[in-house]
Amino acid sequence: MACRLEIEPTGNIVEVQEGQTLLDAALRQGIYLPHACNHGLCGTCKVEVLEGEVDLGNASYFALMESEREDGYCLACTATAVNDVVIEADIDVDVDARNIPVKDVWGTVVKREMLTPRILGLWIELDEDLDFQAGQYINYHIPVFSEPRAFSLANQPSTGRIIELNIGIIPDGEATPWIHQNVKVGDKRKITGPFGRFFVKKSANKPMIFFAGGSGLSSPKSMILDELENGCTLPITLFHGARNQEELYYANLFWDLEKKYSNFKYVPVLSNNEDPSWKGEVGFTNDVAKRMYDGQFAGNKAYLCGPPMMTEACIKVLMQGRLFEKDIHTEKFFSKA
Ligand code: FES
């Protein structure tokens, strides 16, 4: 039997089906609740139950401590409603969010290609449209694993039913080596999305600086293509860090965009300085950006996507350069490798 879920302080009301988590019900009805791991591990989706009863589900004791359980808190990503429930959530209103309802679609792999020795590109044709904001991610369901894996969409929304995923291999991971080895053209799988709040904050109307490392280029690629295609005239700069030229993918695409759009600048940066054929920037993206901006970042919006070490170093440089935390945006989802 379905139950009624009321979310305070916004007053939104959603219907929760039997066995459905509170988070899933809200997202599928276009109501945002904070979340990250979706599996009861990180605590991002913690909410207070003000009225009614929930089953806590598989919430870890790290993410939801005994005392919090006693105080009436639950994790929206694991909790199910026993009867009609009222919860209080810490919701940041994001005026740039379109709050697109999450849904399931099926998609068939129509192309696979190694973009670098470590990053696999998959192009998937969906059976129906999937609306999303450039920068968001989807969950890819692989029956051999109990949990789906999250990947950012590397295509911009205008590509219609063909979506692109860039999947970096994590050698000691479980799913990414499996995907690299086993996913082939013709495979049909379920995809759920869109998720996430990593998208361009258009209402800010500020120049954009993107930092990308590894397969973290997916979201910036989608966001930059979307902005340029839609007539954005604000300055956009992309710093893309890679170990060597083999790992630097989509360089030709971005060099072409630089020629076509006077407001776009592409700065590839290699961390390996032993390649005599490389004439571009060498070192780390944060250092190169600091030099190019004279250490002053105020008035921009920064979007960061890549390995934690890279994003931490970039955040430090940006904040030292007077960019407030509210103007620094990072991709925040956790997915098993
Ligand atoms: Fe629910 Fe991480 S614990 S999103």
Task: Report how far ligand 1's centroid is from the alpha carbon of 3 (Å).
Answer: 21
Report the pLDDT value the prediction gives residue 273, as an integer from 0 to 100: 76
| pLDDT value for 337 | 64
pLDDT at 274: 82
Domain ranges of the chain: 3-88, 103-195, 202-330
State the closest ligand 1 atom to the C-alpha of 59, by its place in the atom list counted from 1. 3
Task: Give the distance (Å) from ligand 1 centre to CA of residue 182.
Answer: 29
pLDDT tens string 45-56: 999 999 999 999
pLDDT in tens, 75-94: 999 999 999 999 999 988 89
Does ligand 1 have an atom closer than 6 angstroms to the CB of 335?
A: no
* Fold of the CATH domain 202-330: Rossmann fold (3.40.50)
43 in contact with ligand 1, CB cutoff 6 A: yes
| CATH 3.10.20.30, domain 3-88, yes or no | yes
Percentage of the chain surpassing pLDDT 70? 99
* Beta carbons of 317 and 289 less than 8 angstroms apart: yes
Q: How far is CA 46 from CA 74, 90, 243, in A?
A: 6, 9, 38
pLDDT in tens, 116-156: 999 999 999 999 999 999 999 999 999 899 889 999 999 99
pLDDT at 58 over 70: yes
Q: What would the pLDDT profile of 189-223 be if each residue is shown by its tens digit? A: 999 999 999 999 999 999 999 999 988 999 999 99
Q: What does the mean pLDDT of the chain come to?
A: 95
Identify which of 21, 33, 45 to mutate to test ligand 1's pocket (most ligand atoms within 8 A of the CB). Answer: 45
Cα(29) to centroid of ligand 1, in Å? 18
- CATH domain 103-195 topology: Elongation Factor Tu (Ef-tu); domain 3 (2.40.30)
Mean pLDDT of 91-100: 93
**Strand runs (DSSP E) across 89-206, as ranges?**
103-114, 119-126, 137-140, 149-152, 162-168, 188-195
| Ligand 1 lined by 63 (C-beta under 6 Å) | yes
- Whole-number Å distance, alpha carbon 75 to ligand 1 midpoint, is 6
Using the atom order of ligand 1, give the atom closest to the CA of residue 76: 1
Q: Is the CB of 35 under 6 A from ligand 1?
A: yes
Q: Do domains 3-88 and 202-330 have the same CATH topology?
A: no
Distance 53 CA to ligand 1 centre (A): 19
Expressed in angstroms and rounded, the spacing between residue 148 Cα and the centre of ligand 1 is 14
CA of 155 to the centre of ligand 1 (A): 27
pLDDT at 336: 67
Q: What does the pLDDT read at residue 333?
A: 64
